[in-house]
Amino acid sequence: MIFELFFNACILITFVSISNLFFKNEDVPNNDSLILKIIIGLCSGLLGIILMLNSVHVSPNVIIDFRYMPIILTALYSSSLPTIIAAVSIGAFRVLYFGVSQPSIIALIDALVIGIGFSIITNIKFTQKNKWFFSIIYLFIVAAISMVIILKISILFLQIIATFYICNLGVSYLLFLYTQHLSESVHLNRRLKNEATTDFLTGLNNVRQFDTSFNSISQLTLRKQEKLSFLFVDIDFFKKVNDTYGHNKGDIVLKILSEILIDSFRIFDVISRNGGEEFSILLLECSSFQAMEIAERLRKKVKAYKFNISDKVCLNITISIGISTYPDTTSKIDNLLEDADNALYEAKRTGRNKVILYKKI
C-alpha cells in the first residue's frame, strides 16, 4: 500500500511541475478568460481521475488516493469556477467508472462539498499557509463523516481514517512547500525579467529594451515600406534641478515627465528612458511633418506644466527635442538615432526649449 500511495504522490508532484511550465507566464487568479478557467478545471479534474485510477483498494468498496489535492491546488491558485469544474469531473468519474453504489454516490457528494468548501475558504482573506491549513481540516472532517456512513465505527474505519489522515497530511505539507517554492521562483523570474527590460525609476523601457524594440521595428518598417520617426528628448538644465533641490526631487521630475510622455503618445509608440534625463520615442508610421507637430505639442505641454516636487516647490521645466525620420531625412534607417542626436545637440546649442528636425548638411 505504501508503494501505491508513493506512486500516487509522484503523479501529483509531476503534474504540478508540468502545469507550472505551462502556466508560469499566466496571471491565473486574475485572468478573466473563461476558456482558460475551463481548461484549468478540466486539467485539474483529469489529474484527480488519474490519481483515482492509481488508487489503493483498502476494502471492496473503499479506495484511498490523493484525488482531492488537485481541488485544493485549483482553489488556492486559480478561482472558484475551475475548482467546481474539477470537483464535478472527479466526482462524476467516480460514479461512472466504479459503478453506481453507496460509496460512489457519497464520493460524488464529497467532491462537490469539498470543491464548494475549498472555494469559500480560499476566498477568505487568510494567508496562503492558513488557507492550506483550514482546507486540510475541512477535508478531514468531510472524509471522516463519509467513512463513518460507509464503514460505521469499527477497527477497519479507524485503520482507514488513520491512513487517510497521515498520508494526505504528509502529501499536503509537501505540496505546500513545493508550490510555495514554485510561486517564489515564478515571482522572482517575472521580477528579474521586468527589471531587465524596464527602467526602475520611470517604468519605461530601458536601454536594453529600446535596442531590442528599435531593431525589430526597423526591420518591420523596411519590410512594410513605411515611415518611422525618432524623437530624442532631453530636459534643459536638469543638472540645476539636482544641484538645487537634490537628486530625490530630480527623480520626481523624471517620473512626472514619464507620465506626460505616456499620456502624449499612442499606445503602440515605443517610449524609453535612454539614460539620465534623456528620453526617446519611436513613432511608427509617422512622417517628419507629423513628428514635428507632435514634438511641438509635447514641448508646449511640458513648458506649461507645473512640476510639484514638494508641498512648497513647484517647478517649470523645458525640453529640447531632436527628430529624424526614415526615409524623409535619411535613407538609412540605422542612422535615425545618430541623426536625432545631432538634431538634439543643435536644439541645445541654439538656445534650448525647441524642436529641431535633422537636415543633411
User: Where does 305-335 have alpha helices with state H?
Assistant: none
Helix, coil or strand: residue 164: helix
Phi, psi of 261, deg, nearest 5: -60, -45
Which residues lie across from 230 on neighbouring strands?
282, 324
Cβ neighbours of 130 (radius 10 Å): 12
Which of the following is catalytic: 26, 277, 285, 296? 277
Cβ neighbours of 339 (radius 10 Å): 23
Cβ atoms of 302 and 281 within 8 Å: the answer is no
Which residues, in sequence order, are CB contacts of 285 under 8 Å at separation 6+?
226, 227, 228
Sole residue written with cell 529641431: 356
Element (H, E) at 229: strand 228-235
26 is catalytic: no
Dihedral sign from CA coordinates of 65, 174, 45, 103: positive
- Rounded Cα distance between 39 and 47, Å, is 12
Q: CA dihedral in degrees (325, 299, 208, 254; nearest 10)?
A: 180
DSSP 30: G
Which residues, in sequence order, are CB contacts of 7 under 8 Å at separation 6+?
54
Length of the chain: 361
Cβ neighbours of 28 (radius 10 Å): 17
Checking 140-147 for CB contacts under 8 A at 24+ apart, the result is: 140/165, 140/168, 142/110, 142/113, 142/114, 142/117, 143/110, 146/106, 146/107, 146/109, 146/110, 147/62
3-state helix, strand, coil in the chain (%, to 5): 65, 10, 20
Cβ atoms of 191 and 32 within 8 Å: the answer is no
Catalytic amino acids? 277
